[in-house]
Amino acid sequence: MQAHVRDRLLQLNQQFYRQFGQAYAEKRDFYQPGMARLLDRVPREATVLDVGCGHGRVISMLAERGFRGRYIGLDASPVLLDIARARAQAVTFPVRLLVRDLARPDWAADLPQAHVVLCFSVLHHLPGRDLRVQVWRNLAARLRPGGWLAVSVWNLLRSPRRKARVRPWAEAGLHPHEVDPGDLLMDWRHRGHGLRYIHQYTLPELEAEARQAGLRLREAFLDDGENRRLGLYAVFGK
C-alpha cells in the first residue's frame, strides 16, 4: 500500500472517531460475549494492557469480575478516553489512560510489560500489512513471558445487513486498485453519516501477521452479533 493511501485511510478513521466518538459509544455500550469469554480468564492480580480501549468497556467488565490488578488503557480518541475516565471513577483498582496513536512506531516505548495484553476491535482499522505487523511487534514486546495476547477483529461480511453497508471507494476519494484485498469502506448512520476504513481479516492472515512478531496462535473462535459469528477472536503467546 502506498504511503498516501495509508495516510488517507488513517485520516478517515481519525475523523470518524473525532466526529462520532460519542455516538459510537452510545451504540456500543454493551458487552460482547467474546470479550466476556476472554476476560473471565484474566487473573485478578494481573497487569492488563488494553490497546485500543475506546470508551472503557473492559474497565467495567474487569471490575464485575473482581479484578484487583493494574490496568493501562490506550486509545487514539480523546473523546472515547474521556468516557473511559468517567467509568474509571467507579472502580477500585488503579487505572491509567493514555492517548496513543498506533500508527506511530514508538507508541509503546515507555509502557511496562503486562501479563495480559488486549487488542479488541483495533487491528482491522490499521491500513496496510507493514503497519499492522509493526503494531503486532509492539504488542509482543509488551507481553511478559508466560502471558497472553487476545485480539478481536470484525467479521462483518457474514451479516447481510452489515454487508449492505459497504460503500464504494470513490466516496473516500480512492480507487479500488489503491487499497489491499480485504479492505472495506463502511458507512455509519447514527447521529449523522460517516465513513470508516476496515480490513476484513481471515484467520490465516491474522496468524501470519502475528507469526512475524514471534507470536504463536493458541486458540481462535467466532462470537458476537446476531449470528454469534461477527467477531473473530484469537489468543496468542510467545
Residue written as grid cell 490465516: 204
The CA–CA distances, whole Å, from 141 to 45, 46, 115, 137 equal: 21, 17, 12, 6
**In the chain, what is the straight-line distance between the N-terminal and C-terminal CA atoms, in Å?**
28
pLDDT at 25: 84
pLDDT at 157: 84
Burial of 192 from C-beta contacts in 10 A (0-12 / 13-18 / 19+):
exposed
pLDDT at 54: 94
Say how far apart CA 75 and CA 131 lie, in whole Å.
17
Write down the domain spans for the chain. 3-156+202-237
pLDDT at 156: 84
- pLDDT beneath 50: ranges in the chain: none
CATH entry, 3-156+202-237, from 3.40.50.150, 3.40.50.970, 3.30.390.30, 3.40.50.10490:
3.40.50.150
What's the pTM? 0.95
In sequence order, the β-bridge partners of residue 221 are 233
Furthest CA-CA distance within the chain: 50
3-state helix, strand, coil in the chain (%, to 5): 40, 25, 35
Among 188, 218, 220, residue whose Cα is nearest residue 12: 188
